[in-house]
Homo-oligomer: A and B are copies of this chain.
């Protein structure tokens, strides 16, 4: 049911019975490599375009998820998916391969938690009992679409982020073994007037703060109720801004509880990622791989994932628009 203004509580506790994560070469070099189900040594995946490689990666994440659950495509009821490509083609083409009822989503890099929140709503309400939620991004496909082809070697400022080459999927069911989805806070669009697409973390930080604040208010909870609160892809700059803003709101999250998927995916040894990871695949692979693995090991019992999205387009930027941002938060629990 709806709790407070914008939070959905799932009393039936839909279970994430299986997940699949796929990454590219940069992700393979990062500290979370072992948490991926599949890593690719190059960006092409045997395809002739980066866009087709992104689609293939998404299909692989879905296939791995099904395999791990011992299920086949025909056992699925609904597929909820979105990505960064114009007209979300990676998702639509993956949906064609899966051949199951499909709901296309667009939440930029917040898509992972948008799909998980809607998927949990479907399962919780008895409208489906095998719901696959997924998303993907591809560094070279995103660079080409949003900025310049990487071959140009354009310089970037240190606030810029590195789009994750990765796909993540999660399969929700009404029962079974696995972490459960307990609530979700649907974010509002927040726009603080920033217009620099090379500082999306900074633009998205206020949206993350808005949603975290809303979640804690609606659930009458405090940060200490969670073992981990992870934003999606704020990167170093955005994460610092979000931390400062939360402090200003009197909602300081203790450092040991607060992290960002865009920071942990590449660690501190890779200055080439500048401010950190970003892209739909960032939160998806870190959560469905690394964080859920930590939950299964008993290191974390209750986490809040706050996936952030910058809802701009190259065209809106060219037309001098600022960057509307959003964040959707999902609470996941395991054990305890």
Within the assembled complex, what's the spacing in Å between the Cα atoms of A93 and B189? 8
Smallest CB gap from A111: residue in B: B104
Within the assembled complex, what's the spacing in Å between the Cα atoms of A91 and B124? 27
Smallest CB gap from A191: residue in B: B96
At the interface, yes or no: A293 with Cβ under 8 Å from chain B?
no
Q: Mark A187-199, 1 if CB is under 8 A from B, else 0.
A: 1110100000000
Smallest CB gap from A48: residue in B: B319
Complex interface residues of chain A between 1 and 39 (CB less than 8 A to chain B): 1-2, 5-6, 8
At the interface, yes or no: A107 with Cβ under 8 Å from chain B?
yes
Within the assembled complex, what's the spacing in Å between the Cα atoms of A124 and B312? 32
At the interface, yes or no: A181 with Cβ under 8 Å from chain B?
no
What is the minimal beta-carbon distance from A97 to any residue of chain B, in angstroms? 9
At the interface, yes or no: A254 with Cβ under 8 Å from chain B?
no
- Tell me which residues across on chain B come within 8 A of A307, comparing CB atoms: none
At the interface, yes or no: A200 with Cβ under 8 Å from chain B?
no
The answer on a CB contact under 8 Å between B315 and A100 is no
- Tell me which residues across on chain B come within 8 A of A84, comparing CB atoms: 87
The answer on a CB contact under 8 Å between A326 and B107 is no
The answer on a CB contact under 8 Å between A93 and B188 is no
- Tell me which residues across on chain B come within 8 A of A324, comparing CB atoms: 92-93, 95-96
At the interface, yes or no: A78 with Cβ under 8 Å from chain B?
yes
Within the assembled complex, what's the spacing in Å between the Cα atoms of A95 and B86? 19
If A95-B189, A96-B324, A102-B326 touch, whether A8 touches B127 (CB-CB below 8 Å) is: yes
Within the assembled complex, what's the spacing in Å between the Cα atoms of A106 and B105? 5
Within the assembled complex, what's the spacing in Å between the Cα atoms of A108 and B108? 16
Q: Mark A257-301, 1 if CB is under 8 A from B, else 0.
A: 000000000000000000000000000000000000000000000
- Tell me which residues across on chain B come within 8 A of A52, comparing CB atoms: 319
Stretch in A57-65, A114-122, A155-163, A239-247 touching the partner: A114-122
- Tell me which residues across on chain B come within 8 A of A5, comparing CB atoms: 77, 101
- Tell me which residues across on chain B come within 8 A of A77, comparing CB atoms: 2, 5-6
The answer on a CB contact under 8 Å between A101 and B6 is yes
Complex interface residues of chain A between 39 and 73 (CB less than 8 A to chain B): 49, 51-52
Within the assembled complex, what's the spacing in Å between the Cα atoms of A310 and B127? 25
At the interface, yes or no: A149 with Cβ under 8 Å from chain B?
no
Within the assembled complex, what's the spacing in Å between the Cα atoms of A323 and B228? 42
At the interface, yes or no: A99 with Cβ under 8 Å from chain B?
yes
Smallest CB gap from A9: residue in B: B127
At the interface, yes or no: A313 with Cβ under 8 Å from chain B?
yes
What is the minimal beta-carbon distance from A175 to any residue of chain B, in angstroms? 15
The answer on a CB contact under 8 Å between B102 and A188 is yes
Q: Mark A101-142, 1 if CB is under 8 A from B, else 0.
A: 111111110000010001001101111110000000000000
Smallest CB gap from A211: residue in B: B101
- Tell me which residues across on chain B come within 8 A of A188, comparing CB atoms: 95, 99-102
Within the assembled complex, what's the spacing in Å between the Cα atoms of A87 and B114? 15
In the A-B complex, the 10 residue pairs with the smallest Cβ-Cβ separation, listed nearest first, are A92-B311, A87-B313, A125-B125, A101-B186, A104-B106, A96-B189, A86-B86, A6-B101, A96-B324, A95-B189
